[in-house]
Structure 1
Amino acid sequence: MFAQLKVFAAIVLFGCAMNVLADEAVKQELDFDAEIGRGGEPVRTENANEFRVCADKDNLPYSNDRMEGFENKIAELIAKDLGKQVKYQFWYDRIGFIRNTLNARRCDVVMGTVAGNDMVLTSKPYYRSGYVFVYKKSSGLKITDWDSQDLHKAKIGVVGQTPPTRPLSDKGLLENSRPYRIMRDLNLPPSFLIDDLIAGKIDVAVVWGPIGGYYAKKLSDDLVVVPAPEYEQENVHGKEYWNISVGVRKKEKERLAMIEEVLDRRKADIEKILDEYGIPHLPVIVEKKLEQPSKPSKEQGDAIPKFE
């Protein structure tokens, strides 16, 4: 009997503890402020000599912890122009990225986010890119647009829920497509889709331009990169081209203005970095208003993931 009472008491105490933890979690969520962090938690004291960047430590061609990405190079360029030392807060570019880095005030700048991203205050765009077709020159395929007949006889690799899935669906091409996860399995290298193309597991990769351009240049002379045309139904989650900006916290207009001055001064140097990495880029254009919001949605996915 005594043993049963001990078990019962333990269960009651465990339940009470869970309630306390749940109440604390709710309280912390209510205390959270995107501009000042979470109530009761220590906040980093900003160093005026630092240019502190939020980035992924293993996400080439964008960034890594060995400073080998093109966003690493552009961040270094901006920091040097401002007379600051670049520092990093690394966090995997997955759900919670912005919340746990920029909005937790662990860092102050996000490189390479979509212009107009409503989670942050974005700079004037410093480049524009889009999706590309990547395939082997030796395959005999000829693909120039969404209506290319060779797409119908090829096995197509595409990241699920990204904009190219719309034209592929409309053209009846999803049946011969292989979907890849939008959030990369961290056991796989960032090059996994192009690796599968080289290995013959797929015939064509439809992928975000910086990824396709960089890995095609780096991994094989047999790969051709063809810009995918903008899709005529871009208002229905099929927009293929995006302006890319720097992001800061929403109230930090002074910081953003300082960065934008550097983007203007160093435009040619930034474009040189993009070219060195094989990043397809176009002149920035003012976006026309879409019938559907350009904010990435669950159906559309994100052109360049920088998750909430």
Structure 2
Amino acid sequence: MSYKHPLILALCVLNLIQVGSVFALGQDREDGLPGMPYRIPAENEFRVCADPENLPYSNQKGEGFENKIAEVLAKDLGKELTYEFWLDRQGYLRNTINAQRCDVIIGMGSDVDTLRTSKPYYRSGYVFVYRKSSNYNIKDWNADDLRKGIIGIVGESPPTIPLRDNDLMANARPYRLQRDLNLSPGYMIDDLVAGKIDVAIIWGPLGGYYAKKAKEPLVVVPVPEFKSEKNAFDTIKGKSEFNISLAVRKKDKDRMEMIQG
């Protein structure tokens, strides 16, 4: 289509003016992608970014614990809860909160510096999960039972450091951070129950939730903190627990103050 014709150009401008009552154009990374339209929320909206299929956190049916937190917050603020559902994968922030499609993320690492985060509302870490029938006794990285079978672990996740330091990488079966969308978020626990792996090292909320739902009794044990002795510069203390917060755009100071009361 040519925009050089005066009538066509005028109609396009008029259309943009009309759309402007509902949409605005993004200006930068924090204000949406350049040129991308976004809907301006109503005054009483509490717009939350969420994954449509990621229990125990959230889903479209509102069954996740982050859904419940959003409901409580919206009610407390006297606002109507609305969602922008987007799969939590690469580009999630760019396509949701930074594209002005929503204003609040319920679960975000407290130390993320690209967003404004609230005071932490929970803290979690990784867990060892194994079949009760295995008679394993795993409490820490020195457990002999860790050397007896296949260990499922998300590649490049924090527990890979002690796994390497304890010479356990030969036992490891790496899993991708971004799961196959044809699989459940608890696919590693599914593999554990199926006997494809013998120990799962997984993020706590995921491990606990899917272990409870499993058809076979499973044991869940918190992964302890660790020190890495194989660092080129100095011994570092490994972080196995992380604070989780709500998050808004960096510039949304007033919104965060409203949420935190």
Same fold judged by TM-score > 0.5?
Answer: yes
Q: What letter matches 2:64 in structure 1?
A: G
Query: Aligned pair in 2 of structure 1 residues 48, 237: CA closer, same or farther (>3 Å)?
Result: farther
Q: Counterpart in 2 of 1:74?
A: 69
Counterpart of 1:89 (choices 79, 84, 88) is: 84
Q: In the TM superposition, what whole-angstrom CA distance separates every residue of 1:253-274 from its partner, at most 9, and x where no partner exists? A: 111112223xxxxxxxxxxxxx
Q: Matched residues in 1 for 2:221 and 2:130: separation?
A: 9
Q: Counterpart in 1 of 2:160?
A: 165
Structure number with higher strand proportion: 2
Q: What letter matches 1:47 in structure 2?
A: A
Q: Matched residues in 1 for 2:106 and 2:149: separation?
A: 35
- Relative to the length of structure 1, the TM-score reads 0.72
Q: What letter matches 2:48 in structure 1?
A: V
Report deviation, 1:171: 0.3
Q: Counterpart in 1 of 2:259?
A: 259
- Asked if 1:52 corresponds to 2:47, the answer is yes
Q: Matched residues in 1 for 2:116 and 2:147: separation?
A: 42
Q: Matched residues in 2 for 1:83 and 1:219: separation?
A: 38
Counterpart of 1:206 (choices 201, 206, 219) is: 201
Q: In the TM superposition, what whole-angstrom CA distance separates every residue of 1:237-283 from its partner, at most 9, and x where no partner exists? A: 9421100001100010111112223xxxxxxxxxxxxxxxxxxxxxx
Q: Counterpart in 1 of 2:172?
A: 177
User: Residue 163 of structure 1 contacts residue 237 of structure 1 at CA under 8 Å; is this kept in 2?
Assistant: no
User: Residue 150 of structure 2 contacts residue 199 of structure 2 at CA under 8 Å; is this kept in 1?
Assistant: yes
The aligned runs of 1:195-274 (5 Å cut-off) are: 195-220=190-215, 222-233=217-228, 236=236, 238-261=238-261
Report deviation, 1:75: 1.0
| Secondary structure of 2:97's aligned partner | coil
Q: Counterpart in 2 of 1:132?
A: 127
User: Residue 165 of structure 2 contacts residue 228 of structure 2 at CA under 8 Å; is this kept in 1?
Assistant: no
Relative to structure 2, which stretch is displaced further, 31-40 or 221-230? 31-40
User: Residue 33 of structure 2 contacts residue 98 of structure 2 at CA under 8 Å; is this kept in 1?
Assistant: no
User: Residue 130 of structure 1 contacts residue 209 of structure 1 at CA under 8 Å; is this kept in 2?
Assistant: yes
Q: Matched residues in 2 for 1:155 and 1:228: separation?
A: 17
The aligned runs of 1:293-304 (5 Å cut-off) are: none
User: Residue 166 of structure 1 contacts residue 237 of structure 1 at CA under 8 Å; is this kept in 2?
Assistant: no
Count of residue pairs the alignment pairs up: 231
Runs ≥4 in structure 1, deviation > 6 angstroms? Answer: none
Q: Counterpart in 2 of 1:152?
A: 147
Percent identity of the aligned residues?
Answer: 60
Relative to structure 2, which stretch is displaced further, 55-64 or 241-250? 55-64
Q: Matched residues in 2 for 1:84 and 1:237: separation?
A: 43
Q: CA RMSD in A?
A: 1.7
| Secondary structure of 1:232's aligned partner | strand
Q: Matched residues in 2 for 1:136 and 1:104: separation?
A: 43
The aligned runs of 1:91-110 (5 Å cut-off) are: 91-110=86-105
Q: Matched residues in 1 for 2:159 and 2:93: separation?
A: 25
Report deviation, 1:236: 5.0
| Secondary structure of 2:255's aligned partner | helix
- Relative to the length of structure 2, the TM-score reads 0.84
Query: Aligned pair in 2 of structure 1 residues 171, 33: CA closer, same or farther (>3 Å)?
Result: same
User: Residue 193 of structure 2 contacts residue 216 of structure 2 at CA under 8 Å; is this kept in 1?
Assistant: no
| Secondary structure of 2:178's aligned partner | coil
User: Residue 165 of structure 1 contacts residue 238 of structure 1 at CA under 8 Å; is this kept in 2?
Assistant: no
Unaligned runs of 5+ in 2: 1-25, 230-234
- Asked if 1:122 corresponds to 2:128, the answer is no
Report deviation, 1:51: 1.1
Report deviation, 1:40: 3.7
Query: Aligned pair in 2 of structure 1 residues 88, 147: CA closer, same or farther (>3 Å)?
Result: same
